[in-house]
Structure 1
Amino acid sequence: MELDLQSCARLLSTINSNQSLPHGKQLHLVFLKRGILNSALTIANRLLQMYTKCGQITDARNLFDEMSERNCFTWNTMIEGYMKWGKINNSLDLFRLMPNKNEFSWNVVILGLVKAEELSVARRLLHEMPSKNEKVWNSLIHGYAKTGFPGMALRLFKEFIDWDLREMDSFVLATALGACADARSVDLGKQIHARIIVDEVEIDSVLASSLVNMYGKGGDLDSASYILSRMQNPDNFSLSALISAYSNCGRMDDARRIFNLVTDPCIVLWNSMIAGYVVCDKVLEALLLFEEMHREGVIGDSSTLASVLNACASAHAVKNCLQVHVYGFKLGLLDDLFVASALIDTYAKCGCPDEASKVFNELKIHDTVLLNSMITIYFNCNRIEDARQLFELMPYKSLISWNSMIIGLNQNGCPVEALDIFYRMNRMDFRMDKFSFSSVISACASIASVELGEQIFARAVIIGIDCDQIISTSLIDFYCKCGFVTDARKLFDQMIKSDEVSWNSMLMGCATNGHGNEALNLFHEMRGVGVSPTNITFIGVLSACDHCGLLEEGKKWFYSMSNDYHIDPGIEHYSCMVDLYARAGCLEEAMNLIEKMPFEADSSMWLSILRGCVAHGNKILGELVAHRIIELDPENSGAFVQLSNVFATSEDWERSASVRRLMIEKKIHKSSARSWSDI
């Protein structure tokens, strides 16, 4: 029986899934038996196309290699198949071997590389392409703009203009304007706008919204508003662009005015307004607008939920977060990674790590960003093993993943394990950044390993990031914790200090190493150059006053915190003041401060008063305070030792000895001092 080759070709073109593939393979077998493949190139090409469509790349390549005759269609089909199924290197190798490349060949490879975000390779091929076309230019410009390289996108756009294409495409113009917006390059945006006017390009809704967005992000709100006013029927995307522009400049009243002009706003406009309120830190207004939207019967999307959850996180509004969680569940949006990440982050920021963990465990898929967030959350609630296990199971570990592990382990008292992670990075020749080095230098500070810390800093010098402020600040903290305050001060005096962090590190280093007067001088110098002190600054100042016994100075700055700097004292500040009063013998004032403070006093605060009682011979108060500490912490050896000392200083030797005997009976051992030492 004679085969109808045209019917066979049509049949092969309909096979595009693995379900119908067996029929195609049966036909392949028939063709082989009849010897048709070597004589009918069209049939062989259709068969090759069938295999690539169904993802059977190995079968396709075997067929390609067996073909005695090939044309451009054959080569292009195989090259496109490799590119479609992620075999980029195979596609490029075959493309280089192709004898007579046509325009379609170049388009397939360059567009595929752009889609795979292999932009540098795509750009090189674009320059090699003998006859460039608008499609590849547009694709590559859009690829750079979409992946966060607006500068490169604009450079390519200039090359595109120099290529002297007579008629500009509105799509590439909109992409170029978007790149101008991201790069805040209003001047170049104006030039493109002028080109649009000169070439009489029709300004459609996409181009108009791109112009509004470009002028808005560039801060030229008058031009943005003018373009919108010239539009006969402004579309929602143009209105959204202007609302976002006003929001980014903090002009929420103007943004709301534009929003209120629309009688029936779509979800895009609601989202722009809600996101604008969140950006401007008007979280209550964002939540109220979301409620209004819900009352109007407008159904939210993933962008809505992400913005509202960000508002909940900023306001620490757990109740609202729970409501949004339920709302997202009803809409079926909780499997959206964008929403899930925002929900997990919000629960974590609201102090509900267990809820965050539940949401995470219910997800079917995860991305690297979400896994990194979860590692940080686990560390923040001391779930070290969970963080470690999650990290080890990650299929792809980004630089943030490694840095999160180093920071988390160090903050949870595991500096040696943090160093092990760093060594693993180093052995893998993994690219490190300033956060990697600053975190591992902090780990060295925790174990006071001077030699190791300096070796790691030497590596930062080789890479060329040693002058970075974050690394310099970590090094100051490192030297201070190792007791080398002079070296820390030398580095501090040489570095550029753009914020209060480096000042705080140096000030705390001086205070904790007993250089109280130097710490106070540094504090006055800090204020003199216009750097505003923070709550951490005042911990250092009060510690310095405590070490130097400067009671009046300490009282002055303690009350100045709230009166002059509007900083509410935390428990660390109260602890410094209680210790300062106790050392000075002002035990009554110390007790009064404990009674007035908005925190529950911990055992360390009571121990400060107890030491004061021992030093100043207040047996009655000392006994009361010691019993109070033992109630709070029955295993606290310091309380027993100090109580014994209280009795000893008043020559009540019998009661002093009885306290020591009680320690032996309760098997409470005096805590021995420890120190790190390099071997």
Structure 2
Amino acid sequence: MKSGNKERSIRLFDMMSNKNDYSWNVVFSGFAKAGEMEIARRLFNEMPNRNGVVWNSMIHSYARNGSPREAVRLFKELNLDPLDKSCCDTFVLATVIGACADLGEIQCGKQIHSRILIDNMEFDSVLTSSLINLYGKCGDLDSAHWVLNMMEEPDDFSLSALITGYANQGRMNDARRAFYRKSNSCVVVWNSLISGYVTNNEEIEAFLLFNDMQKKGLKVDFSTLATILSACSSLCNFQYAKQMHAYACKAGLIYDNVVACAFIDAYSKCGNPNDACKLFSELKTYDTILLNSMITVCSNSGKIEDAKQIFNTMPSKSLISWNSMIVGLSQNGCPVQALDLFCMMNKLDLRMDRFNLASVISACASISSLELGEQVFARATVVGLDSDEVISTSLVDFYCKCGFIEIGRKIFDTMMKSDEISWNSMLMGYATNGHGLEALTLFNEMRHAGDLGEKVAQHIIELDPVNSGAYVQLSSIFATSGDWESSALMVVHNHEVKQPTVQVYLLMIQSLRLFRVGNGFGLVQGLLKWLKCRVLFVHCSP
């Protein structure tokens, strides 16, 4: 096992005629620690004498390897009443409570909490912080606060868990009060409040707290930097990101993969992909998460060949790796290659999630391949994702682009929760297929569809004033409905957009050509002439 040859180890173990408890425990522990859960569970099931250490190890391994439901299920199999302290120490109880938090199973967590109280078990910092985390994630912040008040002197990890809980519920005033409850908190507590500010779009407060942290002489860690860089990304503040780069170099953190990944993301979102690529080239070691980020950066900046090279040379690929590459190929006009990658995943029998399948459906939409898209949707149905909102949104766009507006609208109407993408896909589907009246009707519905509808409408009209595509979309909708005045207004507004592209003007010309008669015909011809001149001007400009 120590040499890393796990296959040989299990083969030799299976050949042993006399296996004692020690040999069982050694082999089982090796596979459990390595994350080989199928083999570990087989050994666990076959083990003749399973003591508390073995049970704890199996439960902890499930939780550590992303299987919280299995961890909780196995814990319930113990069926100890009262809990055997030799079998379930505070560490494994904290692990199971953490799994309950991940699953949102607050009742199971409360049952464990009650049993701990009945058995008078000692609350250490690990157990307390896990309970606060449970109640915080499940929205029961009163219980979280009650657990903290049970402690004579709240430790930093418990306080951090409470602050995170408040932040996740948007209760930043309570988070601040919890933060100032202790005067000499460690960096973990500071990180929690900084992260809370960023999560709640209070980036300026995050920067101010970061400055206070430095004034107090606290040593910034990789988590602090990653969170602050996330704030830089949200504000597209490239200059502050460069300042953080200098700080990270001075602190010796620039080559930490988590920090490097945060810098790469920040530079990319600030519109400086070359700086991201430069930093990547200076790194000595890479992990899968970092490589996934670079695939996205290269794809978003049009360097699809570089993205493909990174993907092809990755020593191990996660589901996100495949997803990022498929999305990148689709966005860069390579839908056929994206579909080839999907077929390769099928051959390798790799698990696919909602985002992966939605990306492939989008690739099918790009080439208007109805047959392939429906095959992918059939795959989504097999794995139980046919009603998933992400899949449904991609299907609306897919059927509209393939010309099957009625099917797209049917899916749109059955969606429990429509987002900006699904509304826009349906609107453009109507507009580009000549259903102007339906598009205008849907647009009016959208504006009266509560907060979301108003948000989407404002997104198209107001929130992105320099986005030419928004004006093209509205111009197309109004034009196909015969509302030439509104369409003309969109053209005038688009003229004010900074540096519209040739493609934008061509799309606007196409939308104005969709109607042939009416009192506005002369004006439309004038607009078409003006737009054509703009195409020549933009195309010939240096």
TM-score bin, normalised by smaller chain:
0.7 to 0.9
1:31-70 map, 5 Å: none
- In 2, are the aligned partners of 1:535 and 1:567 still within 8 Å (CA)? no
Residue in structure 2 matched with residue 632 of structure 1 by the alignment: 538
Q: What is the distance in 2 between the residues matched to 1:585 and 1:567? A: 23
Q: Is residue 87 of structure 2 the alignment partner of residue 188 of structure 1?
A: no
Amino acid in structure 2 at the alignment position of 1:572: G
Match of 2:30 in 1: 112
Instruction: Determine which of 557, 566, 571 is the counterpart of 2:468.
Output: 571
Report the secondary structure of 2:540's partner residue: coil
Note the C-alpha offset of 1:615. 6.4
Distance 1:416 1:538, change over 3 A: farther
Select the structure with the greater relative contact order (CA < 8 A; seq sep ≥ 6). 2
Matched AA of 1:91? S
CA 1:509–1:534 in structure 2 vs 1: closer, same or farther (change >3 Å)? farther
Whole-angstrom CA distance in 1 between matches of 2:474 and 2:10: 70
Match of 1:303 in 2: 223
1:250 Cα deviation after fit:
2.1
Corresponding residue SS for 2:183: coil
CA offset at residue 425 of structure 1?
Answer: 3.0
Match of 2:71 in 1: 153
C-alpha distance after superposition, 1:579-622 (max 9, x if no partner): 879x988799769935983534555676768989x963999999
Q: Does 1:593 align with 2:492?
A: yes
* CA deviation profile, 1:76-96 (whole Å, cap 9, x unmatched): xxxxxxx22222222222222
**Can you give the 5+ residue segments of structure 1 that lack an aligned partner in the other structure?**
1-82, 540-557, 637-679
Verify the 8 A CA contact 1:485 1:509 in the aligned structure 2: yes
For residues 515 and 578 of structure 1, what CA distance do their matches in structure 2 show? 13
Aligned residues: 529
Provide the rounded CA distance (Å) in 1 between the counterparts of 2:162 and 2:525: 73
Measure, in 2, the Cα distance between the counterparts of 1:591 and 1:424: 45
Cα distance in structure 2, aligned partners of 1:618 and 1:95 = 82
**What secondary structure does 1:202 align onto?**
coil
1:496 is matched with which residue?
A: 415
State the match for 2:84 in structure 1: 165
Equivalent-residue separation in structure 2 for 1:588 and 1:508 (angstroms): 15
Question: For residues 114-158 of structure 1, what are the alpha-carbon distances to aligned partners after superposition, in whole Å with 9 as ceiling and x for unaligned?
Answer: 111123432333333222222112212222222232222222222
Q: For each residue in 1:339-368, what CA deviation from the matched residue of structure 2 results, as whole angstroms up to 9, or x when unmatched?
A: 111111111111111111111111111122
CA distance in 2 between partners of 1:183 and 1:624 (Å): 59
Structure 2 CA distance for partners of 1:379 and 1:86, relative to 1, 3 Å: same
State which drifts further: 125-134 or 298-307.
125-134
Choose the corresponding residue for 1:450, options 366, 370, 373.
370
State the AA in 2 paired with 1:634.
Answer: C
Deviation at 1:629, TM superposition (A): 4.2
The alpha-carbon deviation at position 512 of structure 1 amounts to 0.7
Distance 1:236 1:536 in 2: 42
Aligned to 1:395: 315
Is 1:435–2:349 an aligned residue pair?
A: no
- Tell me how far apart the structure 2 counterparts of residues 618 and 361 of structure 1 sit (CA, whole Å): 52
Question: Residue 259 of structure 1 corresponds to which residue in structure 2?
Answer: 179
Kindly indicate whether the alpha-carbon contact (under 8 Å) linking 2:198 and 2:206 is maintained by their aligned counterparts in 1. Answer: yes
Contact 1:250 / 1:280 at 8 angstroms: preserved in 2?
yes
Post-superposition CA distance 1:8-63 (Å, at most 9, x none) = xxxxxxxxxxxxxxxxxxxxxxxxxxxxxxxxxxxxxxxxxxxxxxxxxxxxxxxx
Distance 1:448 1:463 in 2: 24
Aligned counterpart, 1:86: 4
The amino acid of 1:372's aligned partner reads N
Deviations 1:232-277 (A, max 9, x none): 3332222222222222222222222232232322212211221222
Q: Which residue of 2 aligns with 1:134?
A: 52
Deviation at 1:470, TM superposition (A): 3.4
- Equivalent residue number for residue 235 of structure 1: 155
Instruction: Give me the whole-angstrom Cα distance separating, in 2, the residues matched to 1:595 and 1:377.
Output: 29
Cα separation, 1, equivalents of 2:255 and 2:140: 39
Summarize the Cα distance change of 1:247–1:605 in structure 2 as closer, same or farther, 3 Å threshold: closer
TM-score, structure 1 normalization = 0.69
1:223 maps to amino acid: S
In the alignment, the residues of structure 2 paired with residue 192 and residue 396 of structure 1 have an alpha-carbon distance, to the nearest angstrom, of 38
Change in 2 beyond 3 A, CA 1:485/1:210: closer
Quick one: distance in 2 between partners of 1:304 and 1:152? 32
- Counterpart of 1:653? none
Listed as ranges, the matches of 1:253-652 within 5 Å are 253-461=173-381, 465-493=385-413, 495-500=414-419, 501-526=421-446, 530=450, 532-533=452-453, 561-562=461-462, 568=465, 570-575=467-472, 593=492, 597-603=496-502, 616=522, 629-634=535-540
- For 1:171 and 1:587, the matched residues in 2 are separated by 65
Per-residue deviation at 1:375? 0.9
Aligned equivalents of 1:491, 1:442: Cα separation in 2? 15
CA distance in 2, matches of 1:621, 1:504: 25
Residue 174 (structure 1) aligns with:
94
Give yes or no for contact 1:603–1:632 (8 Å, CA) kept in 2.
yes
CA contact (8 A) 2:264 2:280 kept: yes
Change (3 A) 1:481 1:94: same
The answer on whether the counterparts of 1:508 and 1:537 sit within 8 Å (CA) in structure 2 is no
In the TM superposition, residue 468 of structure 1 has moved relative to its aligned partner by 3.6
Paired residue type of 1:450 = L
Taking a change above 3 Å as real, the CA distance of residues 277 and 95 of structure 1, as seen in their structure-2 partners, is same
C-alpha deviation, 1:378, in angstroms:
0.6
Q: Is the 8 A contact 1:213 1:241 kept in 2?
A: yes
Q: Deviations over 1:291-348 (max 9, x none)?
A: 1111111111111111111121122221221111111111111221111111111111
- Rounded to whole Å, the distance in 2 between the matches of 1:525 and 1:628 is 34
Superimposed CA distance per residue, residues 458-495 of structure 1 (whole angstroms, 9 cap, x where no aligned partner): 454555544444334433333322333344345545x4
d(CA) in 1 for partners of 2:302, 2:207 = 32
Identity of aligned residues (%): 50
CA distance, structure 2, for counterparts of residue 222 and residue 462 of structure 1:
42
1:624 positional shift: 7.8
Looking at structure 1, the residues matched to 523 and 279 of structure 2 have their Cα atoms a distance apart, in angstroms, of 57
**Residues 466, 498 of structure 2: 8 Å contact kept:** no
Equivalent residue letter for 2:48 = P
After TM superposition, the structure 1 stretch with the greater mean CA deviation from structure 2, 103-112 or 461-470, is 461-470
- In the superposition, the TM-score normalised over structure 2's length comes to 0.85
Q: 1:635 to 1:459 in 2, by over 3 A?
A: farther
- Structure 1 letter corresponding to 2:90: S
RMSD of the alignment, in Å?
3.7
Give SS of 1:261's match: coil
